Structure 1
Amino acid sequence: MTTEYSTKDLGEAGALIVKKQKLIRMDWEGKICWFVFENKEECEKLSSDFFFGELQVNAREFYEAMTHLKHKIFSYERTE
């Protein structure tokens, strides 16, 4: 059974980071970036709260997480 949680949704990934979930890697499938986190059970709960508008996060921290993720995405050297 896997303990990792994957999402390709940038906003969700940013929210998970703000909620102190550890991003362990980014996997690429062609042009699609998957964000892979530890603690699948907690991430699934936070993800559900995020999509139903029940997750509260600090706006500044969310902005910083999004900026960091975008930097990681666009600095990735693709070999396609």
Structure 2
Amino acid sequence: MNGPGGYFGGCLTALDDCLRGTFGYTAPATLLWRDASTAREHLSRALTAEGRPYDLFAGTLQVLAEGGMHVTLA
């Protein structure tokens, strides 16, 4: 995940580390997720490394919430 706030890793574990570490982010904050319906459509049907179905969209929202991020879906 990369954006105006910087680089937040390439997987949910890295994102979690960035939200809980000393990387410049301080909770609470709000993320405006534009085109969330498109992201949900494509990320909800991901596969794990073992080939099992995984809802990456829901997983991302969970990591963000647990890290103190309020997400507004737009």
What TM-score do the two structures reach when normalised by structure 1? 0.30
- Name the one with the larger strand percent: 2
- Name the one with the larger helix percent: 1
What TM-score do the two structures reach when normalised by structure 2? 0.32
